[in-house]
Amino acid sequence: MLFRNKPDLTENDVTSKGLYLRRREFIRLGAGVLGAMTLGGLACGPAMAARSLKIVKKTNLTPDEKLTNYDAVVGYNNFYEFGTGKTDPAENAKGFVTDPWSVKIDGEVEKPGIYALEDLIDFNQLEQRIYRLRCVEAWSMVIPWIGVPLACVMKKVAPLSKAKYVAFETLLDPKQMPGQHRSVLNWPYREGLRMDEAAHDLTFLAVGLFDDILPNQNGAPVRLVVPWKYGFKSIKSIVRISFTEQQPPTSWNMLAPREYGFYANVNPAVSHPRWSQATERRIGNFFRQDTLPFNGYAEQVAGLYSGMDLRKNY
Ligand code: MTE
């Protein structure tokens, strides 16, 4: 992104799991309390009143690749609200309060409102998804996320047919997020997707990773994960989801439109103006590797862009 001259990850950059592991008191609810409802083929459940972590399905979309070391996943981050250095978020987000948490749903939607996180996401019907994460800076990881397809939340709030895009916003709270005192970006951090991208089954709202609730530095308590797009689309600590007719403004695109497009699909054939996107540094590996079109998920998502010029719509 703006800061390209950071050294590669070293042993000193990562922090022990014990230091950052923040287990909430999980409230285990009996499995029989609420049954799953199947909505349009997705296992979308009803709202729950507590943040337990009950995984009912596991899908590995990166079967032949090894998981990135947990310490790197929680110790090497981009979360500019907590600083621009890779280890700043883990250090500066320690006291970030994420419970209680609510998300405002507004715009072209049948059921707008301010929802408690537990009313939006069914913590009794979580899935694990193992995805590659490819940062626009050309490093990558393989992460087991825990969450629900965004489509589940969309079904719950019922967007109107007028809605063509979904816009997301991160919390704006400079008291808690010291990085927001500097105008590195136009805060709050904003991202957006086209409706069909948002409704795609791979588009995920994560509330956990590995076996734990989401660490603060990874975007607690809820963040987007769009595995075929550069990591900056995967907005963290979401407080607002709006359904819009027009393409919403997005933070990196507002800052440098020539460098960061709205689509931001991983594309080894289109270089960033300041560096190539043909290869990537998988954190933990010695040799660089080729970057795959759509980050390896072309089979699932290329159809969303048929007829589009992906050099223009970068
Ligand atoms: N979301 C917010 N709110 N602020 C950020 O700075 N950084 C993005 C994305 N989401 C960012 C954000 C970028 S550039 C990347 S690569 C991923 O988060 C990194 O996610 P990770 O730290 O969990 O690996």
pLDDT digit string (tens) for 173-206?
Answer: 999 999 999 999 999 999 999 999 999 999 999 9
pLDDT at residue 31, as a whole number: 30
pLDDT at residue 50, as a whole number: 64
pLDDT at residue 35, as a whole number: 32
pLDDT at residue 47, as a whole number: 55
CB of 232 within 6 A of ligand 1: the answer is: yes
pLDDT at residue 51, as a whole number: 78
Query: Measuring CA to CA, which residue among 246, 238, 263, 250 is closest to residue 105?
Result: 238
pLDDT at residue 46, as a whole number: 58
pLDDT at residue 305, as a whole number: 98
CA of 79 to the centre of ligand 1 (A): 5
How is residue 1 written in tokens?
Answer: 């992104």
SS3 of 222-259: CEEECCCECHHHCCCCEEEEEEECCCCCCHHHHHCCCC
- Closest protein CA for atom 13 of ligand 1: 232
**Ligand 1: which of 232, 259, 277, 291 to mutate, judged by most atoms within 8 Å of the beta carbon?**
232
pLDDT at residue 45, as a whole number: 60
How is residue 66 written in tokens?
Answer: 């090894």
pLDDT at residue 252, as a whole number: 98
pLDDT at residue 201, as a whole number: 98
Residues of the chain predicted below pLDDT 70: 1-50
CB environment 23-35: b (16+ within 10 A), e (fewer): eeeeeeeeeeebe
One of 3.40.50.920, 3.40.109.10, 3.90.420.10, 3.40.50.300 is the CATH number of 17-298, namely 3.90.420.10
CB of 233 within 6 A of ligand 1: the answer is: no
CB of 131 within 6 A of ligand 1: the answer is: no
Distance, in Å, from the CA atom of 145 to the CA atom of 166, rounded to the nearest integer, reads: 21
- Closest protein CA for atom 23 of ligand 1: 218
pLDDT (tens digit, 9 = 90+) per residue, 249-277? 999 999 999 999 999 999 999 999 999 99
CA of 189 to the centre of ligand 1 (A): 10
